[in-house]
């Protein structure tokens, strides 16, 4: 069952925002040409926006769960990408929680790699899921 237009629009807006803030933060972390104080401020703003967007994503995901995921469970259509999206969303929520609340540097380093990888997988799976016509 295809989600209604307002839910699809909300999902796209949230995913675009999460993708942009996440990728920009990651690129700044890897290749920043900015002075240290400017970099710290930019990464903080991006992280705050990313966290706020994630709260919205949880609401959208809850609506998606009732309007699209559960009614579509019996269908084999797009099951692989749908399960990939659902699984990576869960992994992103857990790794994001670890990044925010766990103080251990070792755990944060692992969670950061998992979070970045899962985010890239999620964006790719969503694009395939949304564009692919069966």
pLDDT digits (tens, 9 = 90+) for 15-33: 999 999 999 999 999 998 8
Token pair 């703003």 in the structure block, residue = 45
Looking at residue 49, its pLDDT comes to 97
Task: For residue range 44-69, list pLDDT tens digits in order.
Answer: 999 999 999 999 999 999 999 899 88
Q: What does the alpha-carbon distance between residue 119 and residue 134 come to, in Å, rounded to a whole number? A: 25
Name the nearest CA neighbour of 17 among 48, 38, 40: 48
Looking at residue 37, its pLDDT comes to 93
pTM: 0.87
pLDDT surpasses 90 at 81: no
Element (H or E) spanning 97, and its range?
helix 79-101
Looking at residue 131, its pLDDT comes to 87
Mean pLDDT of the chain: 91
Looking at residue 130, its pLDDT comes to 84
Name the nearest CA neighbour of 22 among 131, 90, 122: 122
**Alpha helices, DSSP H, located in 32-77:** 36-64, 70-72
Give the start-to-end residue ranges of the domains of the chain. 1-74, 76-134
pLDDT surpasses 90 at 74: no
pLDDT band at 134 (very low <50, low <70, confident <90, very high): low
């Amino acid at each position: 069952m295809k989600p209604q237009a307002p839910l699809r629009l909300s999902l796209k807006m949230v995913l675009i925002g999460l993708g942009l803030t996440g990728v920009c933060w990651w690129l700044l972390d890897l290749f920043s040409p900015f002075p240290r104080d400017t970099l710290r401020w930019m990464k903080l703003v991006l992280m705050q926006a990313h966290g706020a967007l994630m709260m919205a994503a949880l609401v959208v995901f809850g609506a998606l769960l009732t309007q699209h995921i559960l009614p579509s469970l019996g269908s084999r259509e797009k099951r692989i990408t749908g399960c990939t999206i659902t699984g990576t969303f869960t992994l992103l929520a857990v790794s994001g929680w670890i990044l925010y609340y766990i103080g251990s540097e070792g755990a944060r380093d692992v969670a950061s790699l998992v979070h970045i990888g899962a985010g890239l997988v999620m964006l790719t799976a969503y694009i395939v899921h949304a564009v692919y016509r069966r």
